[in-house]
A = this chain, B = another copy of it.
C-alpha cells in the first residue's frame, strides 16, 4: 500500500504533526528536527492536540500573551455577550426572513455589529442557528398546546415583513433549497481573541499559519 509511503513524506516534513504531545504514534521517520519547515509550520506541536481544554478557562480577555507559553490553545474565553443593539439588529434580520446567512452575509453582519461590541462571525452564525432552532421549538410547543390552527404565532412575522421568504413557494421556514451558500475556513485560535481594534483587524487573512505575524 502506498499510503505509508506518502505518510512517510508527510511526517518527515512536518514533524510538528507527529504528535509532539502524543507520543503514542511512533514516527515512521527519524524525526527531523529541522526547525523551519515549509509552511512556517507554527511549531506549536500538538499541545492543543486533543487536549485543548485542560488549561485555565477563564483568562479570556485579559490580554493575550499566549504565544509565550501557548496556554493551551487559547483561553477558552468568555463567550460572546451580545449587546442590545446587536440583538436588535439580529432579530430584525431574522424577522426579515434571514435564517441561514451565508459567509458573506455573516461577514458583513459581523462587521456592522462589531460597531456595538466585540463579536465574531461564528457568533452571528450560531445566533441564527440557535434562534431558528429555538423559535421552532417554541412553535412546536405551542402547537401541542393548541393542537390546531398552526398559523397562530406567525403574526409578528407575517405582519410587516414576511417578505418573499417563503410566501412564494411551498417551503416553510427554511427550505433545503438554500443549500450550498456558505463557505468558511478555519482560523488560528490565537487571533480570534482580539477585541475590536480598529482598522487592521478587519483585514484578517484566513490562513494565519504564520505564528505571530499579526
How long is the Cα–Cα vector from A177 to B126 in the complex, in angstroms? Answer: 19
How long is the Cα–Cα vector from A112 to B10 in the complex, in angstroms? Answer: 7
Q: Are A104 and B202 in contact (CB under 8 A)?
A: no
Known: A185-B121, A185-B185. A167 touches B24 (CB 8 A): yes
Q: Are B178 and A111 in contact (CB under 8 A)?
A: no
How long is the Cα–Cα vector from A109 to B6 in the complex, in angstroms? Answer: 12
A172 within 8 A of B: no
How long is the Cα–Cα vector from A208 to B185 in the complex, in angstroms? Answer: 11
For residues 193 through 214 of chain A, which have their beta carbon under 8 Å from a beta carbon of chain B?
196, 198-199, 202-210, 213-214
Give the bracket for the number of chain A residues in contact with chain B.
35 or more
Interface flags for A142-161 (1: CB within 8 Å of B; 0: not) read: 00000000000000000011
How long is the Cα–Cα vector from A125 to B38 in the complex, in angstroms? Answer: 20
Name A residues whose Cβ lies closer than 8 Å to a Cβ of B.
1-4, 6-7, 10, 13-14, 16-17, 19-26, 28, 38-42, 44, 46, 48-53, 73-74, 76-77, 84-85, 87-89, 91-93, 96-98, 101-112, 114-116, 120-122, 125, 160-169, 177-189, 192, 196, 198-199, 202-210, 213-214
Q: Can you list 14 A-B pairs, Cβ within 8 angstroms, ordered by A?
A: A3-B87, A4-B88, A4-B92, A13-B112, A14-B111, A21-B102, A24-B162, A25-B97, A26-B161, A50-B164, A102-B189, A125-B186, A202-B206, A203-B206
A41-B102, A187-B206, A205-B205 given; 19 more Cβ-contact pairs under 8 Å: A4-B92, A23-B164, A24-B162, A24-B168, A24-B169, A39-B104, A40-B183, A41-B108, A42-B107, A73-B104, A106-B186, A107-B206, A121-B184, A122-B186, A182-B186, A183-B186, A183-B187, A185-B192, A198-B213
